[in-house]
């Protein structure tokens, strides 16, 4: 069984996907004023997970495009969301191979040399998902999307708190 924090990250990912998976390429590429496009947001979270769980933790990179287009501070972009979801899925699957094996001892160790502990980076990633999901849902509302998820999903069954 994965560590509790890993389950929380996986739940945050599932809620992110639940809230945004039906966005079309056209709407995913729409920018409203200074907001990020939804497709950029998906790419940005894939970039973060690749940066932490693949490159820093294991020294590998699946998609250099994520670094080039979606890193913090990069110019806004509006790629087709269908392409970006595929990268997001692959990065998540590759990350889970490492994350699922974490135990309390490893959560307390540095993510990489000169970095904070793995548990703190898991928290950072979880909160980052919720932050950008809120941003993306506001974009969806402004675009006139209806019947949107309006609250956190089935936390009680998918990712309840449990002692380690």
3 pLDDT more than 80: yes
The angle formed by the CA atoms of residues 10, 13 and 15, to the nearest 5 degrees, is 110
Domains of the chain and any CATH numbers:
4-155 (1.20.120.450)
Q: Rounded to whole angstroms, how far apart are CA atoms 54 and 91?
A: 8
Predicted TM-score (pTM) of the model is 0.94
Q: Does 2 have pLDDT greater than 90?
A: no
**Greater confidence, 112 or 65?**
65
What value does the mean pLDDT take over residues 97-119?
94
Q: How confident is the model at residue 108 (pLDDT cuts 50, 70, 90)?
A: very high
pLDDT digits (tens, 9 = 90+) for 53-83: 999 999 999 999 999 999 999 999 999 999 9
pLDDT reading at 1 higher than 80: no
Give the per-residue pLDDT at 101. Answer: 95
């Amino acid at each position: 069984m994965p560590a509790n924090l890993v389950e929380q990250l996986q739940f945050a990912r599932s809620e992110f996907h639940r809230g945004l998976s039906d966005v079309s390429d056209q709407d995913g590429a729409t920018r409203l004023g200074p907001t990020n496009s939804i497709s950029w947001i998906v790419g940005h979270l894939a970039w973060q997970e690749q940066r932490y769980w693949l490159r820093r933790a294991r020294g590998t990179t699946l998609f250099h495009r994520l670094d080039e287009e979606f890193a913090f501070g990069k110019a806004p972009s509006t790629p087709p969301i269908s392409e970006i979801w595929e990268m997001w899925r692959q990065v998540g699957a590759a990350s889970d191979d490492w994350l699922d094996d974490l135990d309390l001892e490893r959560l307390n160790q540095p993510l990489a040399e000169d970095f904070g502990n793995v548990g703190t980076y898991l928290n950072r990633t979880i909160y980052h998902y919720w932050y950008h999901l809120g941003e993306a849902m506001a974009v969806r509302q402004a675009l006139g999307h209806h019947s949107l998820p309006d609250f956190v999903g089935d936390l009680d069954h998918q990712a309840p708190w449990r002692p380690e």
